[in-house]
Structure 1
Amino acid sequence: MAQPLSADALVAALKAEGVTVVEHDGWRTHNRNHKGPWGPVNGVIIHHTVTSGTQASVDICFNGYAELPGPLCHGVIAKDGTVHLVGNGRANHAGGGDGDVLDAVIAEDYGDKPPATDKHEGSAGAVDGNARFYGFECVNLGDGKDPWPDVQLEAMVRSAAALCRAHGWTARSVIGHLEWSDWKSDPRGFTMASFRAAVAEKLGAKPADNTPPSTPKFQPFPGAAWFHKNPRSAIVTAMGKRLVAVGCSAYASGPGPQWTEADRKSYARWQRELGYTGTAADGWPGAKSWAALKVPYVKEV
């Protein structure tokens, strides 16, 4: 659990992650705090707007409508990747959801997706998500056909990563609205497992800080057979540190240079973060998952 970021801290976190921010007039004091608590916060919910056009989407998310007053989120992420801040505090975006999902998000301990939800706004036992989650509404019709431009997806990932980094959360603190409420289908057009994998990868790097990053030198994949030999190498240590950094640790201590079952279990978590299942997520590294992990280069082999 964490206390919500102040308006200044939220802007700073987003900008440090390389996000372009536009502050809507009045957003810093625009909230629904008089209707219920805001915080402690536990994560981020991603939505699609079911609208088109930046200004129209920003306006409706700021103002809301008769049945659901605004703000309807904290930030609106446009097709061009710009994040328009419209609310600071409690917002009408999450509604009621599943306590089992909230527990899994707080523990940050689940596979490629949290437990299936069977709750929604107004259902018996539903938990107030507006008190617990930041919300980003992302401009998209939500019909499965409206495209998600790369620049928009990148801004969505960076925005989620910014809040995770600010609060010390892993990518498992980011969920889709459909994972919170069984009434909802958003976001539609990509999987939240793949989205979380992208957030996890972003969290493994330093914040962008609006400066071009230097080109890192990554460890070449040593080959699948290499790991089956139970190697003892600085490569294993470097790999383990990356797995910890992206929130996939199954280590009780370490990691160290000796390949162990804890390394395999940690790597299996990483494979599941990337969306692999079954034997493709057995914890034995493959070339594609290794490349995505970006293990820093070490001299020892």
Structure 2
Amino acid sequence: MATPMSAEQFAAALRAEGITVVEVGDWPHHNRNTKGPWGPVHGVMIHHTVTSGTTNTVGIVRDGYSGLPGPLCHGMIAKNGTVHLIGYGRANHAGLGDPDVLAAVIAEKPVPHDDEATVDGNRAFYGFECENLGDGNDPWPPEQLEAIERTAAALCRHHGWDALSVIGHLEWQPGKVDPRGFTMDSMRARIAGRLGTKPAPTPLPRPKPPTIDLSKLREAARTNPGMKGTPCTYEGVRIWEAALVDEGLLAKKRLDGHFGTDTKTATSEWQERLGYRGRQPGQPADGIPGPDSARRLAARHGFKVVA
């Protein structure tokens, strides 16, 4: 049992463990505290997202969806090992769970089988969503597994907990399968090993910035831009759209991975900010990303563009 650490302590503990942290918006004040208590905390819970694409995943866990408002976790652990801080306080991640499991976590004993859901877990656990499709086939990169290990160890270290204070969602609530693709026993063994060392003996490598292939992006922009609901499978479109959202040129609800009319219009407006115009007098810029407009947007938003 412990009083939750402050948001500042939370971020500092992760960084002290050698984790690369990205702070998403006003995360320290993004929570569900008006809907119920937050704390005392007893442990750390690990989930998978059933999503792909870091930009898309951050948006989902921050905002939630119909019937389950965000934040859906305190941090989202991306494939590259970056931890995105999403919210702080009560979050919609754990739901109701088994009281015998909670008692075991508090006593730092192996958890029993979960067979009921009657205890509020959102007040009692720090929650981390991990970017993965959760189908048993989507890989867990080594840097992501190490980030999960370091993240859980950081919070255990702060509170004086051992590795038995870290559980998976599948151990808390009947019917849940997450995280799928590694076992919680293997993760707890890793965490226990790390807790036997000083914090961050070596930092994780700094993640590489995401990269957009300009030719694929241009192809997406030229392919049926007026057709609604026809998603482009190229992940670079979401990265591009997220930058346009941050520039105030594209509505957040249009960040859907489809280079449709709205995205093309927003791109045109970005090009016009840079001084570009259409070929005919009075004609707007064409909205097809070019090398200069793409690289200048990339420079402002932390991604790279390759031809």
TM beyond 0.5: yes
What is residue 68 of structure 2 aligned with on the other side? 68
8 Å CA contact 2:19–2:203 kept in 1: the answer is no
- 5+ unaligned residues in a row in structure 1: which ranges? 121-125, 213-301
Distance 1:210 1:194, change over 3 A: closer
Are 2:54 and 1:54 aligned?
A: yes
Check whether the contact 2:30–2:86 (CA below 8 A) recurs between aligned residues. yes
AA aligned to 2:146 is: E
Letter in 1 for 2:101: V
Cα distance in structure 2, aligned partners of 1:47 and 1:185 = 9
**Contact 2:77–2:129 (8 Å) recurs in 1:** yes
User: What CA distance in whole angstroms lies between the structure 2 residues aligned with 1:211 and 1:142?
Assistant: 27
**For 1:1-301, what aligned pairs fall within 5 Å after superposition?**
1-110=1-110, 114-120=111-117, 126-208=118-200
Q: Structure 1: how far apart are the matches of 2:21 and 2:197? A: 21
Q: What is the deviation of 1:209?
A: 6.7
The 3-state SS of whatever aligns with 2:122 is helix
Deviation at 1:119, TM superposition (A): 1.8
State the shift of 1:32 in Å.
Answer: 0.2
Letter of the aligned partner of 1:131 in structure 2?
R
Counterpart residue number, 2:237: none
**TM-score with structure 1 length normalisation?**
0.67
Q: TM-score, normalised by structure 2?
A: 0.65
Cα deviation for residue 14 of structure 1 reads 0.2
Tell me the distance in 2 between the aligned counterparts of 1:143 and 1:20. 27
Structure having the higher Rg: 2
Identity of aligned residues (%): 67
Instruction: Tell me the equivalent position of 2:298.
Output: none
Residue segments in structure 2 that go unaligned for 5+ positions in a row: 205-307
| Secondary structure of residue in 2 paired with 1:130 | coil
Q: How many residues align?
A: 204
Q: Name the CA distance, whole Å, in 2 between partners of 1:93 and 1:105.
A: 17
Counterpart-to-counterpart distance in 2, 1:185 and 1:25:
30
SS class of match (2:60): helix
What does the per-residue CA deviation read over 1:225-263, in whole Å, with 9 as the maximum and x for residues that have no partner?
A: xxxxxxxxxxxxxxxxxxxxxxxxxxxxxxxxxxxxxxx
Quote the Cα distance in structure 2 between the aligned partners of 1:25 and 1:63.
12
RMSD: 1.1
CA shift for structure 1 position 5: 1.1
Q: Is the 8 A contact 2:45 2:125 kept in 1?
A: yes
Q: Distance in 1 between matches of 2:120 and 2:70?
A: 17
Report deviation, 1:211.
6.1
Aligned amino acid, residue 131 of structure 2: V
Task: Work out whether residues 16 and 209 of structure 1, in 8 Å CA contact, stay in contact via their aligned partners in 2.
Answer: no
- Matched with 1:219 is none
Aligned equivalents of 1:19, 1:151: Cα separation in 2 = 10
Q: Measure the CA separation in 2 of the matches of 1:45 and 1:175.
A: 5
What SS does the aligned partner of 1:56 have? Answer: helix
